[in-house]
Structure 1
Amino acid sequence: MAMMHSFNLALRMLWRDWRAGELTLLLSAVVVAMAALSSVGLLTDRLQRGLARDATQLVGADLVISGDRPLNPDWAIQAQAAHLRSLQSVGFPSMAQVPGPDTENASGTSYPRSKLVSLFATEVGYPLRGQLKVADGSTERLIDPSKEPIQRGEVWVDAVLLRSLNLAVGQSLQLGEQQFLIRHEIRYEGPRGAGFANFAPRVLMRFEDLPKTGLLQLGSRATWRLWLAHQDSNESQGHLLALKQQIERALERGQRLETLENGRPEMRNALERAEQFLGLVATLAALLAALAIALGAQRFMQRHWDACAVMRCLGLSQQALAQILLLEFATIGCLGGGLGSMLGWGIQAALVSLTATLWQTSLPAPSLWPFVQAWLGGALLLLGFALPALLRLWQISPLAVLRRALPNRSARVGLAWLIAILLASGLVWSYAGQLKLAGIVLGAFLGGLGLFALVGLFVMQLIRYISARRLSGQPALSAFQRALNSIARRRQETALQIAALGMGLLALLLLGMTRTDLLDAWRAATPTDAPNRFVINLQNDQLDAFSAALRELGQRQQVNLAAPRYNPMIRGRLVTLNQQPILPEDYRSERAQRLVDREFNLSYSATLPQHNQLVAGKWFDPSAPQAELSIETGIAQTLGLKLGDTLGFDIAGTVVEARITSIRKLRWDSMQVNFFVIMPPHLLAEQPQSHLSAFYVPAPLANAVDNLVQLFPNITLIDTGAIARQVEEVLRKVTQAVELLFLFALAAGVLVLYAALLSSRDQRLQEVALLRTLGARQRHLQVEQYWEQAITGGLAGLIAATLAQGAGWALAHVVFEFAWQFKPWVWLIGGAGGALCGIGAGWLALRGIVSTPPLLTLRTMN
């Protein structure tokens, strides 16, 4: 019964406060918080699921199981029983040739028109996700594999194969014992990947035609795959997940699950940075929302302490007052949460609609989880950051009616602030997605609060000194002096305003700087002149001739063609670890077993490659008494290797041992040649080797360079431009997502600044009324107000710029891992921008104060 009475009283107070306009700021803060969380959550969810969906197009399915022998046929049967889409394929390197007599090259040597190809036999429907782009003559078009599959007796081939064998669409290609009609020229195939086995020119054929070729024999280095995709429903996704878990438990040696992470390493960095930056934007939005809630609750407390004190005088207990206030806030939270959620949904829908032309495919529909997450987050923020103000409010003594003073802050209020910080930390962690990113952002904000407090105390003392001196001259100087006096007079309010402005500006500056540097780092990773050709299997006596041929082509077409850098490659098998034999059975990880079971591509270099980064140890010392090697960090983690371990590689019957003295991190998105293991030249220079290189070919020379395989028939020339275009496409979409979320975070920051200034409106209204009663002119008061907001905003902007530089450096080096440079112009932008934001937000929040009749204001004062 008492609870119902409290609820009714809370509703009556809520209605009274609503009619009196008391809830405007608090409700607006809740709406802003919920709109920020829901819109960022919804947009981030849609973008991430859209990127994940597009990423599955790079894999070709939702799940791929691969193995070095035919897979368990029961898996395909179970997939069909679960109504999943599935198909089988097998791929392996083989020789393709042109039917007919041999051909003579420019030197008169006769050779068969043949080429090493990556043969890929698949059932109808490949790929299950994504499309293929083919060309019939000069016309390119996308093909839906479910509607236009590969027919029996035909093949689809890469353009480089047609050029190297001087073939055209409509002619025949010999594969083993069977001839096939070339139906299409492949221009784009997303799931191909970037492994060396897939770098040879691609030939697609029907799975049912493979036995006729006689190419697949016992001992063939073939990879069998089962491709699975759900039916785009929750039930079908559940069936796929259950089948995946079942297959994972039944995997044998030589079998694995292929995903974007382990199948497409060149895409890994781009997608990881995309997720990190989207998490950063959501984190900043959550902190801005918490700040808006705190400001709204502070003003609510200031406006209601008289009413609460009167109710306490009339006999209302503290427990009953607490129930009323909590019920009122819960109602505000539900109302603001509903309005904010609808506003957030509308904002993200409008942004997606306005930029629909930027996306080649539509984004997935919003899911329910971002709404739930926003409601939970908003409730935690409202509870956490309103609790300190509510505690002070329901602890008011009845004597507060006479004493006109708020109760002192107690230990409970301090504990409430601690709870609020912990709740905000948990929310930031959930939106950031990783502890490291959340820790850096929270550290910057908490450090900012402490720095704002220290600087605020110093500024108060400085302003006291300045305002004590007599300033004379123009009216602007008098207004400036009065502005300083006003700031010195309201120490707590000014410190709060500086903190609010500074936090908002810190979020905006940090987001803006990180966004710019992150995009620059992405573009630098895959520049316009990134390598788009790989050449493999060049012999020592062919290096000069190949360079001369490239140079001659460039001179003939008057195109600047940079000389390629050749990298030696030696094949070796890992056989010992610290002088002890190493076997695949020594490891439980399937990937570790495969690494030990196959040959490594080794190389040698006296200097660290430019696109490699040392993460541990030091580079080779020419005077070192022991043989040294450098290993890639991922391989080291997989095999459990560390600095000081000695590895032995069997190279053509000779075991070469060396000690690990450095661990490197590779940039897979650089499109450069990368090696897992590098040794000094004196260890490997005399071993049997071939050479490979990556270089950039301008478009006018593309066909001419690809035709060099006729002069060097033993080499394999690979067009990696399609892989670079995939990276570029993903980065383009991520860039657009970043820009959209940046604009929304900017709008959320402006709203927080408005809320900070609105919280001091009542006190300023009373001061202006008294000053005008004493004869102050309206115009002078207006100028004084602008000076005060400019000074406060400028100070907040300078502090925010300083913190943004430090936090930006930490994010660049610890989270995103890109180069960082301190930017002096940030202080100029922070100071000037803070002053302008202070003036603009001050005009918006405090407009009408100077023009309000003093008598109207004085009548409302007690």
Structure 2
Amino acid sequence: MASLITGIAAVVALDSLNNSLQDDIERNAKELLGADLVLNSTKQFEGEVVQAIDSNFSLAGEAELSSMVLFKNTGYTRLIRLVALQGDFPFYGELLTRPENAYEQMKTGKFAIMDDALASQYEVSSGDTIKIGNTYFPVAGVVTKIPGGGGLAATLAPSVYISLGELDSTGLVQFGSRINYSMYIKTNTEEETTQLIKNVEPLSKKYGYSYETVQARKEGLGRGFSSVYRFFSLLAFVALILGCIGVASAVHIYAREKRDEVAVLRCIGSSGWQAFAIYFIQIFILGVIGSALGAIAGIGIQQLIPVLFKGYLPMEVSFNISWTSLFMGFIIGTIVSVLFSMLPLVAIRFVPPLTVLRADSQATRVWSKTRMVAILLIIIFPLSFAAYQTKSWLTGALFFAGLAFALAALSGVAWLLLKTVKRFFPSQAPFVWRHALANLFRPNNQTQMLMVSIGLGAFIIATLNTVEQSMLSQVEFTGNENQSNTIMFDIQPPQKDGVVKLMEENKLPVNQVVPIITCRLSELKGKSVESLQNDTTDSVSNWALTREYRVTYRDSLHKSEELIEGELHKRISGKDSVWVTISEGMHENLNVKLGDSLVFDIQGVPLKVRIAGIRKVEWSEDPPNFIFVFPAGVLENAPQIFVTTTRIDDQQAANRFQQQLVMAYPNVSLIDLRLILNTVQALFNKLGLVIRFLALFSIVTGLVVLAGAIINSKFARIKENVLLRTVGAQSRHITQITLIEYAYLGLFAALTGVILSVGGSWLLTTYFFEITFAVDFLELVWIVAGIVSLTMLLGWLNLRDIVRTPPLQVLRKET
């Protein structure tokens, strides 16, 4: 029952959470978007776009860009997401502030409000002053809730909000500034929204902007949460499979202990089917009770999960009970109790009556139709359930195959370890150690089953731990190995020499000074972008045709680049004089190959180029990196901005330099990769807590399986240890033997799971996540030590009754 309860609780809790999320997304989609339709662009909207919108519709505007903010009260600086708002945003949902009038105050005057987390981190309160660009803003309050914001978004990109009318005063809107514009539209009916989409869709292709509807936001959130749900539901699936193993193990031991009773029933005329039915009904009733308790426990746990996820979701999760999940858990638990008890109970049918007279009489192994059907159903059930959990037969089949391989590997390694120990048995060791080790080979000891179940729990937690460590190490590796950890961008040409001089005055290395030119495609392989957009047979994505490209020029490869095809970018004499290189992957998006032509619109000036080569780019290594790289001698006179990079290892030096940079060049933004590293690391630590909590179901189920097997074998151990006491063994000897035996068992099981987890983690990180494999062996040692300790604790708790039982009571069979 305990095995069943933990497995079913995991399945019900996660399925109920998923149903609540889907219901909340369905109900709150408009509140999450804040409008009926949102238009997004990297440039200000053309008059034609504004004219296409009915004047009866309510409009609100937003401009979003990255900027530095200086907190005047502390002198600290921080890269933030600056959001300039105009109009009555949001039309749906709530924008809550503290104090309540802070948002209205921001819209009517030169005030700013900011995310609550940002204000707390930098100790900013209402009335304090911050500097954004050239302008000082008093802080009117903090934002506690905003449609589409807060949660994880606020952690990674904290926001400061000002009125759109004050944006120009900051001096941040300059040539080359990357600004994203949004127009929020509120219609009166869904029919008006549909008609408006038809009106603006041709314009979106023409001017290269995008739009988002309530349905698109709903589907996007649904897909995101669905991916998370599938991952966590697989953890619940593993817990359920462990529960199945626990059910099968417990019923197997129970059935063997009832052989004598079955033999007596057979002697007085009971048929094999009647004997089978007696115990099957017992197990079925226990399964129904366990399933009901597990489903109820799962609903209770579901109330706790949203608390763990708090801060990661852009909306509040309801605590509604999912009756569908409750019913599903009850049905699945009942099926599990029937399926996984059927096979071990089938053997009861073939217990011979002679067992009453001869204890060594064995049941005949018959491959009956019942046994074959049970085996077939036991295979089909996990496969079907995995497909149901992942919503894909292929994914379910692959996961089922992987789990089957893991179980087979665990069983094989456990068998090999036992054979190795038996082959090299320490015959010269003291009696206590020898007897404890020999107990692993005792008949009916279930050693291999225990090692598989506990080893699988160790395998899961060790694999999750190693994958998490690899992700963290990947971020740390990128931050530590890069030549630069500080990037300054949006530097105007007249400011370049001044910024470089400021770096030199602070004794900072000038690692890169990179020019950046913004441009768009106007032709591709001799066809205009407009004709390609209208060609329904063309496979080039619209975003690749209409996006704004940021390119640079140089005559060499950057350290993060490798030329994998063609030649380096170059300039030659003749008609086609400019040859550029393109990044790997983007040539597939644009469907271009070596020698193909493109025409770039560079601030109104067309420039024809051809593809000379394809570069492989490690985007995370020493940014900035680029899709297109031009040769020198072509773009030097084009309007451009500069990016420069350096490395700062001392925090005080970093604070001092950032303050000087903001005061001298307020439009220049600075990215501190160390701050990003710390933010991501803190995020991983929080997510790791959630993952460990959900993986705990598997571990607890594995421990329940262990405890169940230990308790079920108690009577056999009582008889064995009583015999030891009758020949002179003392209670302390029995305690030592038992604890050492369980130490062996826990150690072998943990080592089996952890060794396999290292190989499994390497495969996952290398081929699935495609990150650098990293393992923390100290944490793996702690996992092994924890499993060994828990196994010994369970063995000791089980031992107390054994030590207290009088030898004569067992010898006379009075128990």
TM-score with structure 1 length normalisation? Answer: 0.67
Q: Deviations over 1:729-780 (max 9, x none)?
A: 8667534433543555544443333223334333323323344445444332
Distance change >3 Å, CA 811–CA 445, structure 1 → 2: same
Alignment length (residue pairs) = 735
Shift of residue 495, structure 1, vs aligned partner: 1.7
Corresponding letter in the other structure for 2:638: P
Q: 3-state DSSP class of the match of 1:569?
A: strand
Is 2:549 the partner of 1:586?
no
Distance change >3 Å, CA 596–CA 300, structure 1 → 2: same
Q: 3-state DSSP class of the match of 1:819?
A: coil
Is 2:806 the partner of 1:853?
yes
Is 2:694 the partner of 1:741?
yes
Distance change >3 Å, CA 503–CA 521, structure 1 → 2: same
Counterpart in 2 of 1:569?
516
Is 2:341 the partner of 1:386?
yes
Counterpart in 1 of 2:288?
334
Counterpart in 1 of 2:552?
603
Shift of residue 805, structure 1, vs aligned partner: 0.2
Contact 1:131 1:142 in 2 (8 A): no
Long gaps (5+) in structure 1:
1-26, 78-86, 95-116, 134-140, 170-181, 216-220, 231-238, 556-560
Counterpart in 2 of 1:100?
none
Contact 2:520 2:547 in 1 (8 A): yes
Counterpart in 1 of 2:600?
650
Matches of 2:793 and 2:517, distance apart in 1? 66
Distance change >3 Å, CA 618–CA 645, structure 1 → 2: same
Contact 1:757 1:845 in 2 (8 A): yes
Corresponding letter in the other structure for 1:799: T
2:720 alignment partner, one of 763, 767, 775? 767
Distance change >3 Å, CA 167–CA 525, structure 1 → 2: same
2:378 alignment partner, one of 417, 420, 423? 420
Counterpart in 2 of 1:706?
662
Q: Deviations over 1:2-46 (max 9, x none)?
A: xxxxxxxxxxxxxxxxxxxxxxxxx22222222333345556777
Matches of 2:633 and 2:542, distance apart in 1? 26
Counterpart in 1 of 2:88?
124
Counterpart in 2 of 1:631?
583
Corresponding letter in the other structure for 2:663: N
Matches of 2:465 and 2:731, distance apart in 1? 38
Counterpart in 1 of 2:122?
none
Shift of residue 851, structure 1, vs aligned partner: 3.1
TM-score with structure 2 length normalisation? Answer: 0.71
Q: Percent identity?
A: 18
1:89 alignment partner, one of 60, 65, 70? 60
Q: Deviations over 1:131-181 (max 9, x none)?
A: 477xxxxxxx56578x84865788869999965445555xxxxxxxxxxxx
Counterpart in 1 of 2:176?
none
Matches of 2:413 and 2:184, distance apart in 1? 63
Contact 2:4 2:333 in 1 (8 A): yes
- 1:208-607 equivalences under 5 Å are 225-226=183-184, 252-253=201-202, 254=204, 256-258=210-212, 278-279=232-233, 281-308=235-262, 311=265, 327-347=281-301, 349=303, 363-368=317-322, 370-394=325-349, 404-408=361-365, 410=367, 413=371, 416-417=374-375, 419-428=377-386, 430-431=388-389, 445-467=403-425, 470-471=427-428, 477-490=430-443, 493-519=446-472, 521=474, 535-536=489-490, 538-539=492-493, 542-552=495-505, 554=506, 563=510, 565-575=512-522, 583-586=532-535, 592-604=541-553, 606-607=556-557
Task: Give the alignment's Cα RMSD to 1 decimal.
Answer: 5.8
Counterpart in 2 of 1:36?
10
Distance change >3 Å, CA 547–CA 782, structure 1 → 2: same
Matches of 1:72 and 1:331, distance apart in 2? 68
Counterpart in 1 of 2:123?
none
Counterpart in 2 of 1:813?
766
Larger deviation, residues 564-573 vs 185-194 = 185-194
Corresponding letter in the other structure for 2:513: Y
Shift of residue 585, structure 1, vs aligned partner: 1.8
Q: Deviations over 1:318-352 (max 9, x none)?
A: 66666666554443233112212333344454677
Distance change >3 Å, CA 91–CA 435, structure 1 → 2: same
Counterpart in 2 of 1:106?
none
Counterpart in 2 of 1:618?
564
Distance change >3 Å, CA 485–CA 187, structure 1 → 2: closer
Shift of residue 786, structure 1, vs aligned partner: 2.0
Matches of 1:357 and 1:813, distance apart in 2? 30
Q: 3-state DSSP class of the match of 1:365?
A: coil
Distance change >3 Å, CA 802–CA 248, structure 1 → 2: farther
Q: Deviations over 1:598-645 (max 9, x none)?
A: 5422335644675x9x9xx93776599995633364x567x4647769
Corresponding letter in the other structure for 2:706: L
Counterpart in 2 of 1:7?
none
Corresponding letter in the other structure for 1:618: I
Matches of 2:504 and 2:411, distance apart in 1? 65
Q: 3-state DSSP class of the match of 1:848?
A: helix
Larger deviation, residues 814-823 vs 46-55 = 46-55
Contact 1:522 1:731 in 2 (8 A): no
Q: 3-state DSSP class of the match of 2:459?
A: helix
Q: 3-state DSSP class of the match of 1:655?
A: strand
Matches of 2:749 and 2:697, distance apart in 1? 21
Matches of 1:276 and 1:574, distance apart in 2? 40
Corresponding letter in the other structure for 1:423: F
Distance change >3 Å, CA 189–CA 162, structure 1 → 2: farther
Counterpart in 2 of 1:679?
629
Matches of 1:76 and 1:788, distance apart in 2? 80
Shift of residue 791, structure 1, vs aligned partner: 1.8
Distance change >3 Å, CA 584–CA 525, structure 1 → 2: farther
Shift of residue 709, structure 1, vs aligned partner: 3.9
Matches of 1:121 and 1:830, distance apart in 2? 51
Contact 1:570 1:602 in 2 (8 A): yes
Distance change >3 Å, CA 762–CA 535, structure 1 → 2: same
Shift of residue 584, structure 1, vs aligned partner: 1.5
